[in-house]
Every structure is written in C-alpha cells, then in structure tokens.
Amino acid sequence: MNARLRSCQLVAFVSVSLVACGGGGGDTPRNAVGATQPAAAKTSQPGTAGSTAPTGSSRVPGAASQGTASQGTVTPTPSGDASTGSSPLTVDSVQAPSDASTVSGSVVLEITGSGIANAELLPASGFAPRFGIFEVSSDGTLARLSFDSTAVQSGLRQFRVSAFDAPAGDPSAREIVAMPTRTWVVINPPATAPILIQLSDLPFRDPAPLADLNRVSDAELQARLTNDWAGIERLLRSFIPANVDFGPPVPLGFYGPWSSCLQSHGLAACREHLTQLIGIMESKRPE
C-alpha cells in the first residue's frame, strides 16, 4: 500500500511540474478543449499611420460640414465669407472731387476694393434721396458712377459715398462709408436760357381766372397764398412763363410787385401784381 501511495504522489508531482514549466503546448493559450484563442484585434488611433479619414467630412473653420460620405467630394468655401463664398467688403481707394470743390455737368466717381455688391451716392445722413447708383464690376472690385450734377439744385450740397456687400434694397446689407461727407459747390446754368421780351409783347390771355382770384377777401387770399402757393404760381406762370424775362426798360411799378409776389408771396405785392396783370391783359383784349 505504501508503494502504491508513493507511485501516485510521483505522478501528481510530474503533472504539476509540467504545468508550471509551460510544457505541453508552447506559449499559445488554450481553452478548455484545447482550441487556440484568437489574437486581440489591433486598432489605429485617428491621426496615426494606417487610419483613414471619412470621405466628405472636411470642414471649413466656423462652417458646417460641406458634404457627405455618399457624395464623396467636398468643395471648401473660400475664407472670405463662409456663408456666401464672396470676398469680404473692403474699400481701398476713392476718386471724387475734394471737399469744397466746384462741380458742374457730369462728374465721374470711382471706388476700388473687394466684395462690393452695390455703391451709392447719398446725402450726408440717411439713405434718401439717392443721387446715383454705381455700376459695379462682376468681380466686385470696381464701382463707377457718372454723376449728373444738373439733377440737383445749384448751391452748397453735401454728399457721401457708401459701399455695400449686398444688392440695393437688401436690408441685411453691411455699409462701409467709402467717402465721408464732402461739401461740393454745384454750379449749373439754367435748363433753358431766359427769353427777353418787352412787357408790351406779352400775348393776350383771358384774365378771368385772375379776376376771380383778385375778388376774394384779403383773409382768403392770404390763406391761399400760404396753403396753395403752388396753385397760384401755376396760374401766374400761365400768363408770364418762368423762362420769360423782361428786357429794359421795365416799369418799376410792375417789376417790383411781380418779383416780390413770386419770391415772398406777400399779400400786398400779390394783390397789386394781380391788378396790374389783369389791366395788361384787358388792354390787349381783341375788339
């Protein structure tokens, strides 16, 4: 019995020794039934060799992704304006008459820069009236205007030039004042040269409308001079047009009330001018 016990202890000792020394199977771990364990899968971190960026996932800084994996291609938006692809609005130079310059006729204005979608000649403040809208090059780098100064009244006038990054009328447009306010002395001749005639050369015209106006009371005439001067001026100009002037000699008794009524709209001057003009027309009434 002792011999048999010693034999079993020796077998157990040999089995434990083989396991401890790794014998019977090399360095490959085995499962309970002796199958080889699969090796752990290797992974690559983004940015390391062997990694692949997803197609179509490029981003412009500050903008949303411009493509998908199914599209396969991405066109980056230029950096000037990620939303529209346009260049940022800048103004590099302005060509315009200097402050206090005298201008007449056609005046050329020009601005250069980038991202110009619209440019306008405007008053010193506000956006109306617009005195001119520039023609802008297709690449937004040049805007040019031939300003017709005869369209504004002669005298001291103030203007500014503004550039915008959106077309006229777009409320979201950003403005750059390309030319801060400048005062120009606008001098243009009258649209038509005055016609010089003698007072006696005035043609006959029925003075009945003048007589009707002259019959109203002073209070009513004063009210109409104040509230409806445009209508009264049209009536008076139908007898003596605006482009008519009187050559010498002009009776002072006529010229004074005529000029004063047209300029100051005074009651006494206009009443006297009406009376005189009625008398002149009656003297010319055909027999």
What does the alpha-carbon distance between residue 187 and residue 238 come to, in Å, rounded to a whole number? 28
Residue range 8-24: mean pLDDT, rounded: 43
CATH hierarchy code of domain 90-186: 2.60.40.10
Residue range 239-266: mean pLDDT, rounded: 85
Query: Is the pLDDT at 45 greater than 50, yes or no?
Result: no
- Confidence at 76, pLDDT banded by 50, 70, 90: very low
Residue-wise pLDDT for 136-148, tens only, equals 999 999 999 999 9
In the chain, which segments carry CATH 2.60.40.10? 90-186
Lowest mean pLDDT, pick from 61-70, 74-83, 95-104, 185-194 = 61-70
Beta strands in 39-89 (DSSP E): none
Residue-wise pLDDT for 95-150, tens only, equals 999 998 989 989 999 999 999 999 999 999 999 899 999 999 999 999 999 999 98
What does the alpha-carbon distance between residue 84 and residue 115 come to, in Å, rounded to a whole number? 11
Query: Is the pLDDT at 215 greater than 60, yes or no?
Result: yes
More confident residue, 59 or 247: 247
Helix axes 252-264, 229-237, angle to 10 degrees: 150
- Closest by CA to 87, choosing from 117, 118, 119, is 117
The amino acid sitting at 135 is: E
Place of tokens 């010193």: 124
Beta strands in the chain (DSSP E): 90-95, 102-103, 106-114, 118-122, 132-133, 135-136, 142-148, 155-164, 175-186, 195-197, 244-246
Q: Is the backbone peptide bond immediately before 167 cis, with ω within 30 degrees of 0?
A: no
- Confidence at 227, pLDDT banded by 50, 70, 90: confident
Query: Is the pLDDT at 209 greater than 80, yes or no?
Result: yes
More confident residue, 43 or 176: 176
What does the alpha-carbon distance between residue 138 and residue 251 come to, in Å, rounded to a whole number? 63
The amino acid sitting at 282 is: E
Q: Is the backbone peptide bond immediately before 129 cis, with ω within 30 degrees of 0?
A: yes
Both structure tokens of 149 = 């100064």
